[in-house]
Amino acid sequence: MFTSTVTCTDNTQKKEAKEVEVLELKEYQGKKLSSIKDFRENSIKGPQYINKKDYRLKIGGIVANPKIYTYDEIIEHQTQKKVVTLNCVEGWSVTILWEGILLRELLEEAEVDSKAKVVILHAQDGYSTSFPLGYIMDNGIIIAFKMNDLILPPERGFPFQLVAENKWGYKWIKWITKIELSDNEDFRGYWESQGYSNDGDLGKSFIEER
């Protein structure tokens, strides 16, 4: 009985992988795209499986109008597409067509207080990272729900992954469930509290200078 179950699971996984291979975009506006399968699994607790019906994104902290969004309420916002490369500190990279919503728009709806300096993002698995508020507001940063024209699979951060342009991969938080506006510029996320650069800028060392 156990062997049969494993075989069925294996067959399902192979079928899903084949469907991704057939359906995902390979090129966009003349730019060659990496495959979803090119990512490596390096999350802190493995893939998170979030039910779309039950999902809620909370935006709070130093805001005048705290928000709680359903998945559908978020994707009803105007979407943007952009080809962006994720660069991992492990030495690999992927170039993907991302589609998502400007995080700036969600923060504006929450009416961010002028005292807020930092945007802290939290994930389903306990992961966290942060950015200066100006980075989010001034750079067209999106939370993506699609990659290569397919809905994010659980392994890749469904329902939403931050597309942290010009940042190392550990800043690209997946499975986002909470966004907090703060004045605490000393906050350090999961990897940042273990010695990784809080800025996470590409072209610079990902190890915090001391």
Q: How confident is the model over 66-76, as a mean pLDDT?
A: 99
With helix as H, strand as E and coil as C, how does 46-90 read?
CCCCCCCCCCCEEEEECECCCEEECHHHHHCCCEEEEEEEEECCC
Per-residue pLDDT at 20 = 64
In a domain, 202, yes or no: no
- pLDDT category of residue 21 using cuts at 50, 70 and 90: low
Say if 42 falls within a structural domain.
yes
For the stretch 59-69, pLDDT in tens is 999 999 999 99
How many domains in the chain?
Answer: 1
Question: 64 in a domain, yes or no?
Answer: yes
Establish if 2 belongs to a structural domain: no
Lowest mean pLDDT among 16-20, 66-70, 195-199: 16-20
| Residue 13 pLDDT > 50 | no
Tell me what pLDDT residue 208 has.
Answer: 85
Judge whether 9 and 2 are in contact, CB under 8 Å: no
What mean pLDDT, rounded, does the chain reach? Answer: 92
Instruction: With respect to residue 180, please indicate whether it lies within any of the assigned structural domains.
Output: yes
Q: Do the domain assignments include residue 199?
A: no
CATH of the domain at 85: 3.90.420.10
User: Is residue 12 situated within a structural domain?
Assistant: no
Give the closest residue to 108 by CA, choosing from 187, 184, 181, 183: 181
Given a cut of 80, whether residue 12 has pLDDT beyond it is: no
* Residues in CB range of 56: below 8 A, 6 or more apart: 68, 69, 70, 177
In a domain, 5, yes or no: no
Percent of the chain with pLDDT over 70: 90
Binned at pLDDT 50, 70 and 90, residue 210 comes out as: low
CA distance 173 to 141: 12
Q: Are 157 and 174 in contact (CB under 8 A)?
A: yes
| Token code pair at residue 173 | 């938080």
- The lowest-confidence range among 9-18, 154-163, 167-176, 193-202 is 9-18
Domain that holds residue 184: 26-194
Q: Exposure of 153 by Cβ count < 10 A (0-12 exposed, 13-18 middle, 19+ buried)?
A: middle
Residue of 99, 98, 96 lying closest to 35 (CA atoms): 96
pLDDT tens for 125-184 read: 999 999 999 999 999 999 999 999 999 999 999 999 999 999 999 999 999 999 999 999
What does the pLDDT look like over 92-134, one tens digit per residue?
999 999 999 999 999 999 999 999 999 999 999 999 999 999 9
